[in-house]
Copies of this chain bind each other. A is one copy, B any other.
Amino acid sequence: MNKASLLELLAAVQSGAIDPTAATKRLANLPFEDLGHARIDHHRTLRSGLPEVIYAQGKSPEQTTEIFARMAASGTDVLATRVDAPTAAMVLASSPAAIHHTKARAITLRQSAATEPAGHIAILSAGTSDQPVAEEAAVTAELFNARVTRLYDVGVAGLHRLLAVRDQLTSADVIIVCAGMEGALPSVVGGLVGVPVIAVPTSVGYGASFDGATALLGMLNSCSPNVTVVNIDNGFGAAYTAVLIARASARRS
């Protein structure tokens, strides 16, 4: 039942075609979830302005291509993450206006009009190997209209590299920090700034890095209280939340 059919029911009550008790019963049993579905969806889209995203990993190239095309047909911006090469080829063949971001393993299709950047996000990576995760975050944030400053390879073992970009850090509304191995960078960054820091552990490392678990644990134990954490390699999720924060900050003046 959507709004149209609800209106129809209520008109029938008004016209006397259906009496209130019967209508009550129908409404009590109505699939209000469908109504809710639409409402929640719209509410969510209205508030966040962020479209649904295709997580391509575990989907066949055909599946991803079909979903991408259907979304593209609806006129919205489209984002697919964790896209491998065969899938990317098939999606681009189907949606030629889309862009494949190789390092980020992502495909974007911008169909909305250009807008003012909605806030400023600094995205840091500790090492060059963390770049794919950082780029996934950057591509996501840019499609969602945030201004992104990339600050890569600023790991804590060469502190001067980080200190050299401090001004860029302090001008951001929110900071995403991608790091593998010991995952120490978010704590250091968190101590340098007064904005939220979203830490993304990466699976970069070997041996006792346990595919990112060590970085994850380190970030969760950060002594900087402005650090929150997302799943290992989850650049997309970090950017999603960062955009929500950055937009609020951007509107404040």
Contacts and interface: CB of A to CB of B under 8 A. Distances in A.
Interface of A: 3, 6-7, 10-11, 13-14, 16, 19-21, 23-24, 27-28, 31-41, 43-48, 50, 53, 57-59, 63, 126-129, 155-167, 170, 173, 181-184, 187-188, 190-196, 198, 201, 203-234, 236-238, 240-241, 244-245, 248-253
A217 B220 contact: no
Nearest to A127: B223
Contacts of A166: 31, 33
A6 B33 contact: no
A229 B207 CA distance: 13
Given A7-B24, A223-B157, A59 B129 contact: yes
Q: Which 10 A-B pairs have the closest CB atoms?
A: A47-B194, A207-B232, A33-B163, A184-B184, A251-B252, A37-B160, A10-B20, A33-B164, A228-B228, A48-B194
Contacts of A160: 33-34, 36-41
B196 A245 contact: yes
A134 to B, nearest CB: 14
A14 B20 contact: yes
A244 B228 CA distance: 12
A57 B206 contact: yes
Copies of this chain present in the complex amount to 8
A3 B44 CA distance: 28
A209 to B, nearest CB: 5
A164 B37 contact: yes
Given A32-B163, A36-B160, A167-B31, A234 B207 contact: yes
Nearest to A202: B207
B207 A220 contact: yes
Contact of A23 (B10, B37, B40, B129): B10
Contacts of A126: 223
Given A34-B164, A156-B156, A221-B182, A226 B204 contact: no
27 contacts: A7-B21, A10-B27, A27-B27, A33-B163, A33-B164, A37-B161, A38-B160, A40-B159, A40-B191, A40-B192, A41-B160, A47-B193, A59-B129, A157-B187, A181-B221, A182-B218, A182-B219, A182-B223, A184-B218, A207-B233, A208-B216, A208-B217, A215-B221, A216-B220, A228-B228, A228-B230, A248-B252
